[in-house]
Amino acid sequence: MRATGAGSKSGNASEVEMRHALAASYQSMFAAILLPISFYFALTVFYHLLVADAAGHAFLSVSSALIAMAFLAMGLDVRRRALSYRELEFFGFAFFALINLKAAANNFVQLEPAKLFFFMLPMLIVAIFGISTRLVVTAILSSVATMLAFAS
Amino acid sequence: MLLQASMIALAGSLAGYCISTLTRGAISREIRARMTAETLRQTAEAQADQDMLTELPNRRNFFRRLRERLERGRAGGEEFVLGVVDLDGFKSINDSYGHTVGDLLLIEVAARLRDAGGGNGLVSRLGGDEFAILIDGARNDEQLHGHGDTIRESIASPYLISDIEFSVSASVGFVRSTIADLDETGLIERADFAMFRAKANGSGTVIFSHEHEEDLEQIGRVEQALRSSDKEAEMSVVFQPQVDIASGETTGFEALARWNSPSLGNVRPDVFIAAAERTGLIEEMTPILLGKALKIARDWPGDIKLSFNLSIRDIMSSTAIDKLCRIIEASDIDPARLEFEVTETLIMSDFETARKSLAKLQTLGARVALDDFGVGYANFGHIDQLDINTIKIDRSFVTRLADGGRTAKVIKTMVDMCATLGVGSIIEGVETEQELDVLQGIGARKVQGYYYSKPMPPDEIPAFLSRRFLARIGGGPASVARAV
């Protein structure tokens, strides 16, 4: 009993250390992509305002601006302090949700069947930079579901 | 379009899942490898810092922590006390019961020390049977003596190891971090000094003081002067006669070393011989002194013996003992006239090596005497196993004769025992006629001491022997003494 207890304790300690090390590794990767993506969304603000002419692009421009600011805030926060595994996972969910919702909003405003595969791109980013399996699986299922919903 | 989207979704999902699995697998493997390497590094570091036998911090670790503590002390005035604990007679336990029992004893001692001293600080094994304790905070003398007593009482409780019950005592030396501006080595040296003082005077616990600092400086000066001394020119030998009480005849002389240092003057033999043993210079000194003693003894009458003291380093090194044998062989003196004196403590430090070294001297024809008998182990087995020729009964018995009691009977028992074993006996330290009378009354044969003569330079020996001869013709031992 005692040995099992000790073993389990040691196992937990090792698991905690592993998660800590995973968070440290993924944080640096996550930090590397957040600011460029934030910059990308900042650019799309101007695209929606200046280039696109369909109705609803003002809404898309505002949402791009909000997403750009959210990613900028996240990027700065990720660079400023060490995040825990859970925090990184939460940031991953938020990252994916915002991009996926923006893609959905784009298609609500102007459905472009030829560009539906764009739903796969944020999923692939999360697949590379997502810290947990459940984050990646959620991203895959959500992307597929959203894409198929628009396809149908 | 739905079919096309489904195909893209399927392909994208598979690609995403594979990318995720590969990325996280590679990162996890890298992290595991790093963690394993880190764990191994930490384990190796922990092992390098730990004493494998007792699982206490080892010497290296202790010195590092001591250095850190000293630096902290210098920065913030934080005081602490360093203690050194050494087991008394551990060597004999190792020799008698074997190293396995000795190791088990050390493990038990370490556990007791951890309980007794560890609550207040760090306990560590410095090596062998020597442990160190760091106690935080200032302590007055009374508190330190109390702490020393607790440690010694804890160690002194009986041990039951491999069905053998035995006891062991310990000596403790303390030094305060504020005694002087010292590094870790200086502090350990002082704690060691206090511990050796405790061991030497049997007081159990000694706290290093400013008086000890002066002694230490004096020792340092002596060691320094000894290192740079011209031993051939500065070292000399004096001789104290050994006399047969009944006939008044001088049977031999014990050679005693003297050192007249140009910088320190005449240094006490106990001081410079201890320094020579500590520094290893004794190995250089003994051949010089033996050579001088042999050269002088060559001119004595053929029936006069020469006694010569050997130190631990002389008999623990086969090179040193072989050198002494060569000096004897080259001296043109009959080895049967030579008697080499060793103490029991010296023999006990490594019995087997001592036996082999003494056997080499005996093979040449020299005799072996057991010096200071009765105050150490008084182990009769040694007399038998080492083929001892003479026993020199310690001077402390003669000193106690004046107190009455059973001392005379104890001396008589030892003298009778020697006679029964066919071993010669010499009683040391005879200073008065009363002492001589008592010794004569109990059947003692040979004595040595100031009553007959204090140690004399070689040029006084012919006159002493002439007076002895005249006295033998004209009267008994009392007249010999008067003549001297």
State the pLDDT confidence band at A141, using cuts at 50, 70 and 90: very high
Start and end residues for every CATH 3.30.70.270 domain found in chain B: 59-208
CA distance B175 to B135: 10
**pLDDT for the residue numbered A54:** 65
Start and end residues for every CATH 3.20.20.450 domain found in chain B: 220-483
Query: To the nearest whole angstrom, how far is the Cα of A148 from the nearest Cα of chain B?
Result: 6
CA distance A49 to B284: 100
Contact A144 B31 (CB under 8 A): no
Residue B426, beta-bridge partner list: B392, B446
Q: DSSP per residue over B10-75, as a string?
A: HHHHHHHHHHHHHHHHHHHHHHHHHHHHHHHHHHHHHHHTB-TTT-SB-HHHHHHHHHHHHHHHHH
B351 Cβ partners below 8 Å, 6+ apart? B95, B382, B385
B59-208 belongs to CATH 3.30.70.270: yes
Contact A124 B24 (CB under 8 A): no
Task: Give me the long-range contacts of A51-59 (CB less than 8 A, separation at least 24).
Answer: A52/A110, A54/A109, A54/A110, A55/A109, A56/A108, A56/A109, A56/A110, A57/A109, A59/A105, A59/A109
b/e per residue, B423-445, with b = 16+ CB within 10 A?
Answer: bbbbbbbbeeeebbebbeebebb
B220-483 belongs to CATH 3.20.20.450: yes
Average pLDDT over residues B426-437: 90
Phi-psi category of residue B140: left, alpha or beta, with phi > 0 → left and psi -120 to 50 → alpha: beta
Query: B213-237, pLDDT tens digit by residue?
Result: 888 888 889 999 999 999 999 999 9
Query: B259-307, pLDDT tens digit by residue?
Result: 999 988 999 998 899 889 888 899 899 999 999 999 999 988 888 999 9
pTM metric for this prediction: 0.59
When scoring B22, B24, B43 by the number of chain A Cβ atoms within 10 A, the one with the most, hence best to mutate, is B24
B429 pLDDT exceeds 80?
yes
Enumerate the domain spans of chain A: 2-151
CA distance B310 to B282: 9
Nearest to B257 by CA among B277, B278, B279: B277
Contact A144 B9 (CB under 8 A): yes
ipTM of the complex: 0.75
Provide the 3-class DSSP secondary structure of residue B448: strand
Average pLDDT over residues B34-42: 88
B309 Cβ partners below 8 Å, 6+ apart? B254, B255, B256, B257, B340, B341, B342, B371
Query: B99-146, pLDDT tens digit by residue?
Result: 888 899 999 999 999 887 655 578 999 988 999 999 888 788 898 999
Percent of chain A with pLDDT over 90: 39
Residues of A with CB under 8 A from a CB of B: 14, 17-18, 21-22, 25-26, 113, 116-117, 119-120, 123-124, 126-128, 130, 133, 136-137, 139-140, 143-144, 147-148, 150-152
Q: Which chain A positions have a beta carbon within 8 Å of B30's beta carbon? A: 25
**pLDDT for the residue numbered B310:** 92
Contact A21 B9 (CB under 8 A): no
CA distance B25 to B19: 10
Q: Which chain B positions have a beta carbon within 8 Å of A127's beta carbon? A: 15-17, 19-20, 23
